[in-house]
Structure 1
């Protein structure tokens, strides 16, 4: 029922946006059908968009931090027609349930979400395509459960970034304090700041360091905003604000190296050259050396921002499709 309520709201938002000011950008019509799905979890549900037949085990698409299933809206129609594709919203993102009050988000929880997904659908193995935060979690999943993965495609972030001890300790204290502050704000029940549609796009664009183009913002905003109840024609970001204080992996450099050595599945990684490495390059390069010991590992670089798969899917699709056709053929 919660998913249906959200879908009705999204339909309403679409109609309002298309009929409002001339400045409103019309939504691009997708060329591939999908069904909204709701996957039960102990605290609620995981929402997703299922492209293709339900009897075919899908490649599971997993998005980056504070993004949602819309991150694959432009790429999904370009994937091979013989496969199914399930793009999900992680907890607290998109149309998926938030974690209960008093619970913090942690990277390892998303790894467990992947196992929950497999149990719900009775899959012995999983195929994954993951961007950014989820690419990190996919790397971890492949290392922890190498026998359960038959294909992994990582986009732009290779592995859990290695940080200095000072950075880790300072970051933990700051995030824990910020968590309490956010919880107080949530208890107040006040509506978040609201914006006109164009301003909402601008904020998402600039908040991503302009990685998401203004034209591409609409794909993420469809599952990431709600209409204001107080200010007509204005919207607010509807993801769980506690995501801003998420707790991430705090690992010594030897841990990602050990993880890399355990990944045995077909593994494609695509690095966007206009995106940062998010850590010292020496750590990144050392992990690449370890990953290349896997004969099924493929590495590609291409021009584009962190969200190149969303902005310019025509650049990414040929690389991904070649890999899919090699390891998930018709």
Structure 2
């Protein structure tokens, strides 16, 4: 309860007085160091993509991409541990965090986020991109690198190594479930109903439990500060500010043979870090074939670490100890 109360106080102060949370964390957070950053925005046809830029602005940074229904805050504890001479840009994918939602009537599809990478590269005039990706974004990073192997010069995948494997009836049933959720969210949007509001303490509990306790209660603040806003109908409560349609997102699926071909096409330095409790494939033989295909890349590395799915957020030093030598090797000045 003490942890929730402390997080509640921190979030309320940040949201009510509109003070950037990075200025408050220095005084209130314990166990994590901080690093100055700048809030940035990049234009897209339907609005903007928001992000947090750490470190040097005069050179191309590493781009951090978060998991499903998370946001750029997922890297708040890891970013300060990365090499200080290399910039780091953590972005909110469309519908998440402080980025614009897709227009009404549109459906979120995970593979569409690959277009954001090209928009970013065009906007900043980059020929290549460096990626640190968690969960859903690690899947998209796999697809991006297999489709466009010359566009990325460094790819780090956190806790997921490949897209969803097509499993016939299971895949069909999942798609049906997502379309049912989409219809539900569209009905809510059409009715213009007031979204439910919550106390901060309840939001912390909901996030903690919805991730299978993968995100500790102390670390919930790093996600929530970009995912909620004060309720207009209940001044003391808060609503979720991310797009509800994300619940119905459609995810790309591939056959096992397709994934093997795709894995063989990834050529850039590729680091895969996963927790020791993760279950990535129904068949160990199928997973072994994917890993063998990835290992044809001489600069592929795999590391298994004790922790949860959000290990990079809750215990960032475990990731940084592996990640920084990789960055220093493949992203030197």
**Does the pair score TM above 0.5?**
yes
In the alignment, is residue 137 of structure 1 matched against residue 140 of structure 2? Answer: yes
Mean Cα deviation higher: 281-290 or 313-322: 281-290
Q: What CA deviation, in whole Å up to 9, does each residue of 1:205-247 have, x standing for no partner? A: 0000110111110000010011111123211221111111100
Alignment of 1:151-162 (within 5 A): 151-162=154-165
Helix, strand or coil at the partner of 2:274? strand
Which one of 228, 234, 238 corresponds to residue 235 of structure 1?
238
In the alignment, is residue 35 of structure 1 matched against residue 38 of structure 2? Answer: yes
Q: Give the whole-Å Cα distance in 1 for the aligned partners of 2:281 and 2:184.
A: 27
Shift of 1:253: 0.8
Helix, strand or coil at the partner of 2:181? helix
Alignment of 1:1-330 (within 5 A): 12-13=14-15, 15=17, 26=28, 31-277=34-280, 279-330=282-333
Helix, strand or coil at the partner of 1:45? strand
Q: Give the whole-Å Cα distance in 2 for the aligned partners of 1:234 and 1:61.
A: 30
Mark the CA change 1:12 to 1:75 in structure 2 (over 3 Å): closer, same or farther.
Answer: closer
Q: Give the whole-Å Cα distance in 2 for the aligned partners of 1:199 and 1:82.
A: 39
Mean Cα deviation higher: 305-314 or 170-179: 170-179
Mark the CA change 1:16 to 1:128 in structure 2 (over 3 Å): closer, same or farther.
Answer: closer
Q: What CA deviation, in whole Å up to 9, does each residue of 1:59-116 have, x standing for no partner? A: 0000000000000000000000110000000010000011111111111101111111
Helix, strand or coil at the partner of 2:150? helix
Q: Unaligned stretches of 5+ in structure 2?
A: 1-10, 20-26
Q: Give the whole-Å Cα distance in 1 for the aligned partners of 2:130 and 2:220.
A: 27
RMSD (Å), alpha carbons: 2.0
Normalised to the residue count of structure 2, the TM-score between the two structures is: 0.90
Shift of 1:278: 5.8
Q: Give the whole-Å Cα distance in 1 for the aligned partners of 2:247 and 2:306.
A: 28
Q: Give the whole-Å Cα distance in 1 for the aligned partners of 2:157 and 2:282.
A: 17
Helix, strand or coil at the partner of 1:147? coil
Corresponding residue pairs, total: 315
Contact kept, 8 Å, 1:60 with 1:86, in 2: the verdict is yes
Mark the CA change 1:125 to 1:195 in structure 2 (over 3 Å): closer, same or farther.
Answer: same
Shift of 1:12: 4.8
Mark the CA change 1:280 to 1:216 in structure 2 (over 3 Å): closer, same or farther.
Answer: farther
Mark the CA change 1:229 to 1:140 in structure 2 (over 3 Å): closer, same or farther.
Answer: same
Mean Cα deviation higher: 118-127 or 187-196: 187-196
